[in-house]
Amino acid sequence: MRYVYADNAATTPVSKKVVEAMLPYMTEHFGNPSSLYTIGQTAHAAVQTAREQVAAALGADAKEIFFTSGGSEADNWAIRGAAALGEKKGKKHLITTKFEHHAVLHTMAALEKQGFTVTYLDVYEDGLVRVEDVEKAITDETCLVTIMYANNEIGTVQPIAEIGKVCRDKGVLFHTDAVQAVGHIKIDVKEQNIDMLSLSGHKFHAVKGTGALYCKKGIRLPNLIEGGAQESGRRAGTENVPGIVGLGVAITDMCENLDENMAKVKALRDRLFEGASKISHSRINGSTEKRLPGNFSMCFEGIEGESLLLMLDMNGISASSGSACTSGSLDPSHVLLSIGLKHEVAHGSLRLSLSENNTVEDVDYILEVLPKIVDRLRSMSPLWDHIMENEKQ
């Protein structure tokens, strides 16, 4: 049986190049970056090199990069920090979308309990935010707009530069959760009018537990963790030197090979869409044009997504029905509901996320197995029988 890993949006394997770069900082260069002796300063220099690598990948300045434990922490820091800055000016209104990652949505819910008001924008059937909706939602009380760069479930890529320009013209801070986008599409924070950006290393072949927040020079967010001078005194705690080194190497490697990787992965994804669309009563979720190169998201009527995933796994295919952060939930995806899908359709969702490590043979194997599994599940489904009966009437 063939094994195919097709859940790269959940996490990616750590690359050999990253492992090799990290190892010395677990052994001979193990020093604390705050120490003045040689091995400490060697570690400090490595952290700074990684900071410059992340900055270069984003079109930022190294002093604008702050290392975190991942995307969720970076999201929380940016949103809570911007809210605190706004509150000092008497501005307690925030804007986001209905299909953000829960790191954003749950933070918004927590801020609402603290007296903030939040506008949740629609994303429509194509999974895209309308720039005019953002502009209309901004008021004199707005302190932050936070809209994800690319959706983690359906892969739709938002008009970030245009949204950023509206925010810049209105004098409102703009943050984007770019966890799914960094390393997979071109990003330039200056050209795209981005004030703050979150990223996570394990989405592009670095290790889990590493991430960063880009924060534009001049934005003084409240300190995240008190107790030390690390990260310019804004996030105390001894740095995860090996992880940070790996993050820098991974983002550099991905960006250097971006065009080639994007073209390869997009071709594989399109092959998947073409083949899977031949399955009856199926639909692609979101725009087919404005989406991440490796994202495949479809719904198959009359089946239940969890059963589909289990049977794919039995055939050696690792996939998901949505975000890994909500895989334990039996509720339909809030992302799919936000683009107008009915509950019974959203339950039959499948997300496949490809990387440059996947092959045509992987895709063809998925297309060999998937229709058979869908047919088998439908043969056991009362819902599918109901759908067929309704069509006969």
Which residues are catalytically annotated? Answer: 325
Angle (nearest 5°) at CA 349 between 344 and 352: 180
Sheet containing strand 295-300, strands side by side: 282-284, 295-300, 349-353
The burial of 120, by beta-carbon neighbours within 10 Å (0-12 exposed, 13-18 middle, 19 or more buried), is given as: middle
> Torsions phi, psi of 154, nearest 5?
-105, -5
For residue 303, count other CB atoms closer than 10 A to its CB. Answer: 25
Residue 368: both structure tokens together: 């060999």
- The burial class, CB within 10 Å (0-12 / 13-18 / 19+), for 131 is middle
Burial of 221 (0-12, 13-18, 19+ CB in 10 A): buried
Asked if 93 and 117 count as a contact pair (C-beta separation under 8 A), the reply is yes
* Count of CA atoms in the C-beta half-sphere (13 A) of 32: 8
Alpha carbon distance 123, 153 (integer Å): 13
Tokens of 64: 């604008």
Partner residues linked to 287 by β-bridges: none
Nearest to 281 by CA among 365, 143, 391, 393: 391
In sequence order, the β-bridge partners of residue 176 are: 197
Q: Please count the other Cβ atoms lying within 10 Å of the Cβ belonging to residue 294.
A: 25
Count CA within 13 A, CB hemisphere, residue 11.
Answer: 11
**Identity (one letter) of the amino acid at 119?**
T
List the beta bridge partners of residue 97. Answer: 121
- Ranges of beta strands (E only) in 26-103 are 65-68, 93-97
